[in-house]
A and B are shown apart, each in its own frame.
Chain A
Amino acid sequence: MKRFLEKHFSTLWMAAVFVFLYVPLAFMIVFSFNSTRQDANFTGFSLRWYEALMNDTKIVEGFWLSLKVAATAGLFSAVLGTFAAFVLVRYRRFFGRTVFSGMVNAPLVMPEVVIGLSLLLLMVGAQNVFGWPQRGMLTIIFGHSLLGMAYAMVVVQSRLMEMDRSIEEAAMDLGARPHQVFFLITLPCIAPSILAAYLLTFTLSFDDVVISEFLSGPGVNTLPQVIFGYARRGINPTIYAAATLLIVTVTVVIVSYSLWIARQTRRREREIAAAMRAETAALVQT
């Protein structure tokens, strides 16, 4: 036994941590199909909680609101994050660079409560002065975009830094205008990372409770807010049903995205290998 433990300690440790990581997910999936509200007795298979989920107007409305908010905030974050990453990687010196990079990164380490509170004060102040914006979907989008921009910037930045600049230089030598270089060369090169940034910021926004709680108005509640409200009251298997649907969706999206990336990489490697073979063959012939 001792021998076995010594030999397989690493496997056992990894397995234990994975069990820890996946226990809540498995728990929710199993109990979303439970026929009663009992949380530790599986009394029989049933789809009643899925039915309850579909008939719960608060959850359904929250879902659509979250979808709209996340789609918009993800877009804002990805665009602004790409801008910010480009500025930080490509412009070594400009007025206020340190301040700029500090401000981009700060939301990553600020507690969300502080971000939510300060944005709420901004919105209330703006409303006092301009009578706009009303607290609601728009203000939530602003809040999520601020946080998302920081994450999107990190993702795009790392791709931009490892990008081969010689392609851009070649395009410039061939007379491409700066915006042509950007749209025809740079953007396609960093597109996968922008997509990844969008996926990440979409998920962050779709999942956020704290900033939404600060910035939402009366009657405007995102899905996490509705769930948070239910969750504080006690166990509700309807939420497990929602979780199960989410887990399945996320797994499908993430796994297919990584498979797609892996295939792209393999194809590129194959193309490079083929090009090198062709080159060698040409050299041998001459």
Chain B
Amino acid sequence: MSTINLSIPGKRFVIGVPYTWLIVFFFLPFLILLYISFVDMGNDINPFKPIWDSETGLLSLKYENYWSIFRTAEGGALFKTLYIEAYVRSIWYALCTAILCLAIGYPFAYFIARSKPTVRPALLMMVMLPFWTSFLLRVYAWKGILADQGVINKLLLALHVIEEPIQMLYTDVSMLVGMTYVYLPFMVLPLYANLVKMDFRLLEAAYDLGASPFKAFWLVTVPLSKAGIVAGFMLVFIPSVGEFVIPSLLGGPENVMIGRVVWDEMFTSNNWPRASALAVVMIALIVVPLAIYYNSAGNAAERQN
């Protein structure tokens, strides 16, 4: 296969432009983040100061910012800090969101994939359209729907299902509704892409061999769509962990997630080194599931070959 034979300067230019951009706006900021996370805050406002000892020339990294994440101020009680709680809560909500999205999205994607080829583009378009309109505004709308004086409560009161308005806004319920709502398309699209390629004759074969619809689904369809399930799960789970807007609008004071904590450390407490340390730990938390994902994706690709 021949390539466009650019002269060497031409090739350097084509590679150099995006490369330089990424070094400056992605790699360098990350290094600075790492750097600041090791700075001793002290009483200084400016976190940009050297972390090496000017007399001995040795690096003096301050692990204090990291320690304070795991240890309460009194020094004891490892892993019982507000930060750890926020991390655990973030992962918990992200997991619940991903599971809810899978439960709603899997049958949905499956039915779209099995619908007539002529209506499929229209159905997909209908999945995408809300996705294109402002995420912030759609989350905001849920506020009006779930409020004490909101549509759902008014409806339930009118139907005499309830006597008093139920508190839905600023609870786990509103958080999960908002998160599931926003991230559902991220689950549906990869699942659809996977399911639409499936050979449905395999299902017919399973029926012919006497499998019940449920058994055929469980033993044929689900294993075949594993790659789509994992992809969708990751696409929902990973951004959910760092979610900032939804907890701010729909969550209560008990629903603070780690994104919000980083924000508060940065702009309310003005503790830039700690905000950086929290962000570095957050990256580490996301790298682990990603590594698992790439590993399983790699295995799946190997099996297919």
A residues in contact (CB < 8 Å) with B = 10-11, 13-14, 17-18, 20-25, 27-28, 31, 38-41, 80, 83-84, 86-87, 90-91, 94, 96, 100, 103-104, 106-107, 109-114, 117-122, 124-125, 128, 142, 145-146, 149, 165, 168-169, 172, 178-179, 181-182, 186, 203, 206-207, 209-210, 213-214, 224, 227-228, 231-232, 235, 239-240, 242-243, 246-247, 250-251, 254-255, 258, 262
Residue of B nearest to A146 (CB): B25
Candidates A14, A103, A119, A179; contact of B108 at CB < 8 Å: A14
- By Cβ-Cβ distance, the 3 closest A-B pairs, closest first, are A111-B242, A24-B141, A118-B29
Query: How far does the alpha carbon of A190 sit from the alpha carbon of B138 in the complex, in Å?
Result: 32
Chain B residues with CB under 8 Å of A91's CB are 3, 11, 14-15
Q: How far is the CB of A222 from chain B (nearest CB, A)?
A: 11
Q: How many residue pairs, one in A and one in B, have C-beta atoms under 8 Å apart?
A: 235
Q: Is the CB of B15 within 8 A of A87?
A: yes
Given A111-B241, A117-B33, A258-B125, check contact A25 B141 (CB 8 Å): yes
Q: How far is the CB of B241 from chain A (nearest CB, A)?
A: 6
Q: Is the CB of B244 within 8 A of A113?
A: yes
Chain B residues with CB under 8 Å of A124's CB are 48
Name B85-128 residues within 8 Å CB distance of A.
104-105, 107-108, 111-112, 114-115, 121, 123, 125-128
Q: Is the CB of A96 within 8 A of B150?
A: no
Chain A residues with CB under 8 Å of B151's CB are 27, 39-40
Q: Is the CB of A31 within 8 A of B144?
A: yes
A to B CB contacts below 8 Å, 30 in the list: A14-B108, A14-B115, A24-B181, A25-B133, A31-B144, A39-B149, A100-B22, A103-B26, A109-B239, A111-B238, A111-B282, A112-B244, A114-B242, A114-B283, A118-B29, A118-B30, A118-B279, A142-B25, A178-B4, A210-B259, A228-B245, A232-B249, A235-B143, A235-B144, A239-B140, A243-B134, A243-B141, A246-B133, A254-B125, A254-B129
The number of chain B residues touching the other chain, given as a range, is 35 or more
Q: How far is the CB of A179 from chain B (nearest CB, A)?
A: 8
Candidates B14, B36, B142; contact of A24 at CB < 8 Å: B142
Query: How far does the alpha carbon of A214 sit from the alpha carbon of B266 in the complex, in Å?
Result: 10
Among A11, A17, A119, A246, the one with the most B-chain Cβ atoms within 10 Å of its Cβ is A17
Q: Is the CB of B136 within 8 A of A109?
A: no
Residue of B nearest to A85 (CB): B18
Q: How far is the CB of A241 from chain B (nearest CB, A)?
A: 11
Interface of A is mostly: helix
Query: How far does the alpha carbon of A25 sit from the alpha carbon of B141 in the complex, in Å?
Result: 7
B residues in contact (CB < 8 Å) with A = 1-7, 10-11, 14-15, 17-19, 21-23, 25-30, 32-33, 36, 46, 48, 104-105, 107-108, 111-112, 114-115, 121, 123, 125-130, 132-138, 140-145, 147, 149-151, 153-154, 181, 184, 238-239, 241-245, 248-249, 259, 262-263, 266, 272, 275-276, 279, 282-283, 286, 290
Query: How far does the alpha carbon of A128 sit from the alpha carbon of B128 in the complex, in Å?
Result: 43
Chain A residues with CB under 8 Å of B121's CB are 258, 262
Chain A residues with CB under 8 Å of B123's CB are 14
Q: Is the CB of B22 within 8 A of A103?
A: yes
Query: How far does the alpha carbon of A111 sit from the alpha carbon of B184 in the complex, in Å?
Result: 18
Residue of A nearest to B123 (CB): A14
Chain A residues with CB under 8 Å of B141's CB are 24-25, 27-28, 240, 243
